[in-house]
Structure 1
């Protein structure tokens, strides 16, 4: 049986990342309350990168990302930050979905990556 490793999150009921076998699952939102998509997207992507590092991998090993956006009219700004951040040699599959998010969050990202093992 494969072990499950959980990385403690900000609350006792949530993990920053979970590793099972050679897969890493993580979710992030921005900490900033600023209503600026570029800033929230950059911060959220940076958190995903930190979570992956904590779990022993990096963004080159991303398999998929699901991006939830509170206002799809702001998707171009999110795309701008994504294009600056993503590993262009190893781009993951990505989906963007319009969603009702808890204020002040404008973006939430769910990512799945492979470990380096």
Structure 2
């Protein structure tokens, strides 16, 4: 049986879980002021940066993304989020993941976006 590895674990969650050649990231959001109250482009860029950093920590990267679920506090932010997302993937479109975007009530006031990620190990 494949060993499960958990990273940055606390009583509530693990930020990274590795199992069976897959990497699962917990929901990533923009954090701290003023970004957490900033516009969707800034929050999206911060979330993508955090995703990249966590993947790099376990030896993977955005070309290994399999599935991403994006939660928006307001679907009116869909276009602004997509502008940043598409620029982030511009050179790697051949590796674009399966993606779902939904509107959801987010946990903290001011947050406009959260992403969960599944990626393959490198």
The TM-score normalised by the length of structure 2 is 0.88
SS in 1 for 2:56: helix
Please point out which of 72, 95, 115 is paired with 1:109. 115
Please give the root-mean-square deviation of Cα atoms over the aligned residues, in Å. 1.2
1:105 & 1:15 partners in 2: Cα distance?
Answer: 21
1:51 & 1:101 partners in 2: Cα distance?
Answer: 21
User: Matched residue pairs, number?
Assistant: 115
1:104 & 1:39 partners in 2: Cα distance?
Answer: 12
2:97 & 2:59 partners in 1: Cα distance?
Answer: 18
1:33 & 1:47 partners in 2: Cα distance?
Answer: 14
Alpha-carbon shift at residue 13 of structure 1 (Å):
2.2
Are residues 1:3 and 2:7 paired?
Answer: no
Alpha-carbon shift at residue 12 of structure 1 (Å):
4.1
Partner of 1:44: 47
SS in 2 for 1:88: helix
1:114 & 1:25 partners in 2: Cα distance?
Answer: 9
Greater fraction of residues in helix: 2
1:15 & 1:85 partners in 2: Cα distance?
Answer: 25
1:91 & 1:34 partners in 2: Cα distance?
Answer: 28
The TM-score normalised by the length of structure 1 is 0.92
Please, which moves more after superposition, 73-82 or 28-37? 28-37
2:46 & 2:38 partners in 1: Cα distance?
Answer: 12
